[in-house]
């Protein structure tokens, strides 16, 4: 198998290049190699190679591991609270570039959408993390405000003006003569692409959009008590708007993994405990690990407990989001009949059985 080329060599930058230099080099090469603009043999493979190189060198953790170990994942992977979601939208920068080349252009008579769209991710956490709340550092790809023009789309010395062709509406009206008379139709203004504004000197980095593909890292605050299916929203971290218009939000949908002991129902946690018949008859206390770190839960089983009976430990379940109130731990009791009795124990039980029969007869 042929070894991969050095990522710095792929992008044509020095090993000490800063983040902006790496980003510029990536955008320059990606524009030339993207399948939408380059149909030459091998261009698509080169684009994937450039994409892969940038996905590593644009991420501080991956780049540090790559520089030290020659592998973006390092000797033991990332783990912990770092989550790489660079491919959540299908093809990483490839799909982001599809939107970039499309530029949000409108079709037909509609005005171009300049506001950025929301971006959604699905984040899996453990039940313990849901109980205590946690922070997750998320790395993902998006169209972000262009660094070189501060999101304006205008290069140094340039300016943005109202389109004279459509007078800022983004649409033009055409009148055609037909056998039925004059017919009017609206279409996207070809001069401004539906934006209603034109730039006399567009930024070379972003082609005048004010946004460009980039690697984003954000920290998500997951509140204690969150349920599966609920979302956490980070304002302004979705797709950037065109030429400084409002960015969309990043919306993280939380998925809580199944737990080996507990099953959650609302704010209560259900589990199963096993006791023997003597403990069921006389009562006992079973201590189990709680859902919070270092916490133990005492399940007080009353005398005469029956198989399948539920025993509740209040205030030891999941927290109710936004409050200090917690649900309960509810234990379903499984009564096991001992199968390892000694002869002496069997004799004692037989004697007790006879005494109970006599007492019942009265």
Indicate whether 314 and 218 sit together in one domain.
no
For residue 209, what are the domain limits? Answer: 79-256
E-strand ranges in 257-328 read 263-265, 268-276, 284-289, 296-301, 310-313
Q: What is the pLDDT of residues 292-322, one digit of tens each?
A: 999 999 999 999 999 999 999 999 999 999 9
Per-residue model confidence (pLDDT) at position 3: 62
Indicate whether 235 and 267 sit together in one domain.
no
Indicate whether 334 and 317 sit together in one domain.
yes
Tell me, rounded to whole angstroms, the distance of Cα 247 from its chain centroid.
Answer: 18
Indicate whether 150 and 73 sit together in one domain.
no
Indicate whether 104 and 116 sit together in one domain.
yes
The backbone torsions φ and ψ at residue 56, rounded to the nearest 5 degrees and listed phi first, read -90, -50
Of 222, 256, 290, the position where a domain reaches its end is 256
Asked if 268 and 318 touch (Cβ cutoff 8 Å), the reply is: yes
Per-residue model confidence (pLDDT) at position 98: 67
Per-residue model confidence (pLDDT) at position 108: 44
Give the SS3 label for residue 348.
Answer: helix
Which CATH number covers residue 355? 2.60.260.20
Indicate whether 134 and 14 sit together in one domain.
no
Tell me how many domains the chain contains.
3
Asked if 226 and 321 touch (Cβ cutoff 8 Å), the reply is: yes
Which CATH number covers residue 4? 1.10.287.110
Which string of DSSP letters, residue by residue, matches 325-345?
-B--EEEEEEEE--S---HHH
Which string of DSSP letters, residue by residue, matches 236-268?
T-SSPPGGGPPP--EEEEEEEPP-SS-EEETTE
pLDDT in tens, the chain (362 residues): 456 789 999 999 999 999 989 998 998 888 888 877 777 888 888 988 998 899 899 888 889 999 998 888 877 555 567 677 665 444 455 567 666 765 544 444 445 568 899 999 999 999 999 999 999 999 888 999 999 999 999 999 999 999 999 998 888 988 777 777 777 788 888 888 788 888 999 998 888 889 988 888 899 999 999 999 999 999 999 999 988 889 999 999 999 999 999 999 999 999 999 999 999 999 999 999 999 999 999 999 999 999 999 999 999 999 999 999 999 999 999 999 999 999 999 999 999 999 888 888 86
Indicate whether 135 and 41 sit together in one domain.
no
The backbone torsions φ and ψ at residue 23, rounded to the nearest 5 degrees and listed phi first, read -65, -45
Indicate whether 118 and 74 sit together in one domain.
no
Asked if 133 and 150 touch (Cβ cutoff 8 Å), the reply is: no
What are the structure tokens assigned to 47, written together?
Answer: 């684009």
pTM score, whole prediction: 0.78
Of 49, 78, 107, the position where a domain reaches its end is 78
Indicate whether 86 and 66 sit together in one domain.
no
Range 32-40, long-range pairs (CB < 8 A, 24+ positions): 34/97, 34/101, 36/97, 36/98, 36/101, 37/101
Indicate whether 162 and 214 sit together in one domain.
yes
Indicate whether 73 and 94 sit together in one domain.
no
Per-residue model confidence (pLDDT) at position 103: 53
Indicate whether 199 and 343 sit together in one domain.
no
Of 78, 93, 128, the position where a domain reaches its end is 78
E-strand ranges in 24-180 read 82-84, 119-125, 134-145, 160-162, 171-178
What are the structure tokens assigned to 74, written together?
Answer: 């390092």
């Amino acid at each position: 198998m042929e070894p991969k080329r050095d990522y710095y060599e792929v992008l044509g930058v020095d090993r000490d290049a800063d983040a902006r230099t790496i980003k510029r080099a990536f955008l320059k090469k990606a524009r030339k190699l993207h399948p939408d603009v380059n149909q030459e043999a091998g261009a698509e493979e080169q684009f994937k190679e450039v994409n892969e190189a940038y996905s590593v060198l644009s991420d501080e953790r991956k780049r540090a591991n790559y520089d030290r170990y020659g592998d973006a994942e390092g000797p033991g992977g990332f783990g912990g609270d770092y989550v790489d979601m660079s491919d959540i939208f299908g093809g990483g920068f490839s799909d982001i570039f599809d939107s970039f080349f499309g530029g949000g252009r409108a079709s037909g008579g509609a005005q171009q959408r300049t506001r950025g769209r929301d971006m959604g991710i699905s984040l899996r956490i453990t039940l313990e993390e849901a109980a205590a709340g946690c922070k997750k550092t998320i790395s993902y790809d998006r169209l972000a405000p262009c660094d070189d023009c501060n999101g304006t789309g205008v290069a140094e010395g340039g300016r943005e003006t109202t389109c004279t062709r459509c007078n800022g509406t983004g649409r033009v009206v055409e009148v055609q003569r037909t056998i039925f008379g004059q017919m009017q139709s609206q279409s996207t203004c070809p001069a401004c692409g539906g934006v209603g504004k034109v730039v006399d000197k567009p930024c070379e980095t972003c082609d005048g959009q004010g946004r460009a593909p980039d690697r984003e890292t954000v920290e998500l605050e997951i509140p204690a008590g969150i349920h599966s299916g609920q979302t956490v929203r980070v304002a302004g971290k979705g797709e950037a708007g065109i030429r400084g218009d409002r960015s969309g939000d990043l919306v993280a949908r939380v998925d809580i993994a199944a737990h080996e002991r507990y099953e959650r129902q609302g704010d209560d946690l259900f589990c199963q405990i096993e006791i023997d018949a003597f403990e069921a008859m006389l009562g006992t206390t079973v201590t189990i690990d709680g859902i919070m770190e270092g916490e133990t839960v005492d399940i007080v089983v009353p005398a005469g407990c029956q198989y399948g009976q539920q025993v509740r430990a209040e205030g030891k379940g999941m927290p109710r989001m936004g409050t200090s109130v917690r649900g309960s731990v509810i234990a379903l009791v499984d009564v096991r009949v001992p199968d390892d009795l000694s002869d002496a124990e069997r004799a004692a039980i037989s004697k007790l059985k006879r005494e109970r029969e006599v007492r019942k007869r009265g």
